[in-house]
Structure 1
Amino acid sequence: MTVAIEMVSDPVCPWCWLGLRRIQAAIAQTPDIKVQLLFRPYELDPTIPAAGVDYKEYMGSRVSSPEGKERMAAMRQALIDYGAAEDIPYRFDAVTHRPNSFDAHRLVRWAQGQGKGAEAKEALFRAYFNEARNIGDHGVLVDIARSIDLDADIVADLLKTGADTDIVRQEADTFRQMGISGVPTYIANRRVAVQGAESAEKLERFIRHAAAQLPQERPAG
């Protein structure tokens, strides 16, 4: 039997990059369990316009008090420190644009259909948090598709036509209706869940707990 883990995340969520690395490490630590890692869409702020907004202005509107700014600075430093341990090169100081991430989720869906979901997520995180690229821009998304060996021409056409827009939006809405209010969230076999970029050790225990809930296969004969 397979443990199907759905990672609900957003490519503009810095904790989700950390969460991706940690769930991958946890899976590597459970070679005795067959795990299928699937990526599901979640928009931290679906009100962001399609063209995106200025990053500093956006963050300033959300965190205006001195205390809030101090907490934000502390959180970023914690992420930089955690990232260093996971070989994640965050460069928050370079980010100038807060994109709408919806089309990036569409790219992940297409990549996942080709067995490249994790590669797409990693490439999107790196493009945004390290290279400060606008991952809401179709040209950037096509470049990312090309970098993971997807057919760039097909991806460009799909982006233009609005393919899978309704499906991705419905999926994202479904997880909100399930009560998910923060990411990353991991759901195992739609039965047990854990929220947050937990350590690989905790996620390993989560996987083993989920595996223990699966019905036991009966021997043939």
Structure 2
Amino acid sequence: MLIETFADLICPWCYIGKRRLDRALMQRPGLRPELRWQPFQLNPDMPRGGMSRDDYLAAKFGGGERARQIHRVVEDTAARDGLPLALDRIQRTPNSFDAHRLVRIAGRHGLGNAMADALFAAYFVEGVDIGDRDALASVAAGLGMDFAETRRQLSTDAESASVHAADALARQMGLQAVPCYIFNRRYALSGAQEPASFLPLLDLGSEEPENLSVVSG
């Protein structure tokens, strides 16, 4: 079964949603899915170096109090899921393009899914600026990849075209928010759904890809 996850590495609901998908997969131990990460940039016009977290939240939510309200909802949800989260450690909101490239680069070594997990943890638990190429190479080194070689690849246009193409495809498909999970290129489940919501779609794993149907939540 092919499961494609359209998400952004700086999206807290994508972080929560990924954990919930993993929990659902644990309930189907006989399933051997092929998991593919598909990039979607929530802020495609973000400056290359990112921006101050406070400035970003003020621009996105119209002020600190509104941002704090939204953060409380995210933090409460993550806590109920037993998911570590430390939003107060985040000092900058990064441009996530290079992080998406790194997931693709790691995928060449069979580490794409592990890299997505590592980047989520680096950003949401440790407050790492995952727009910084040295920081990204350090995360890769933690998974056994060579720091210098990863840093070199990030200084080139490695996987840039594929990230642009996948992001463009998501928008052509009508995706305006993430996470969105597509099963066998036939059914899509949007939002950070509870694990039980994934199970009926996981049970369709033997079906062949046809036309896409979207299940919203």
| TM-score with structure 1 setting the length | 0.89
Letter in 2 for 1:5: I
The answer on 1:103 being equivalent to 2:101 is no
Aligned partner (choices 134, 149, 155) of residue 139 of structure 1: 134
> Which stretch shows the higher mean deviation, 170-179 or 135-144?
170-179
Sort the Cα spacing of 1:65 and 1:99 in 2 relative to 1 into closer, same or farther, 3 A: closer
Aligned to 1:55: 53
The unaligned stretches of length 5 or more in structure 2 are 210-217
Aligned to 2:213: none
CA distance in 1, matches of 2:158, 2:191: 31
> Which stretch shows the higher mean deviation, 81-90 or 48-57?
81-90
Offset, 1:28 = 1.2
Offset, 1:65 = 6.2
SS of 2:141 mapped into structure 1: helix
CA distance in 1, matches of 2:77, 2:155: 37
SS of 2:33 mapped into structure 1: strand
Offset, 1:214 = 3.5
Offset, 1:33 = 2.6
CA distance in 2, matches of 1:212, 1:119: 25
CA distance in 2, matches of 1:164, 1:110: 7
Offset, 1:42 = 0.5
RCO (CA 8 Å, sep 6+): is it higher in 1 or 2? 1
Offset, 1:62 = 1.8
- Which protein has the larger Cα radius of gyration, Structure 1 or Structure 2? 1
Offset, 1:161 = 1.3
CA distance in 1, matches of 2:136, 2:188: 30
SS of 1:211 mapped into structure 2: coil
Aligned partner (choices 197, 207, 211) of residue 205 of structure 2: 211
State how many pairs are aligned.
209
Aligned to 1:218: none
The answer on 1:165 being equivalent to 2:178 is no
Sort the Cα spacing of 1:85 and 1:55 in 2 relative to 1 into closer, same or farther, 3 A: same
Quote the RMSD (CA, aligned, Å). Answer: 1.7
The unaligned stretches of length 5 or more in structure 1 are 216-221
Note the alpha carbon deviations across 1:89-118, whole angstroms, 9 max, x for none.
Answer: 211122110100000001001112212122
The answer on 1:64 being equivalent to 2:55 is no
Aligned to 2:28: 30
SS of 2:44 mapped into structure 1: coil
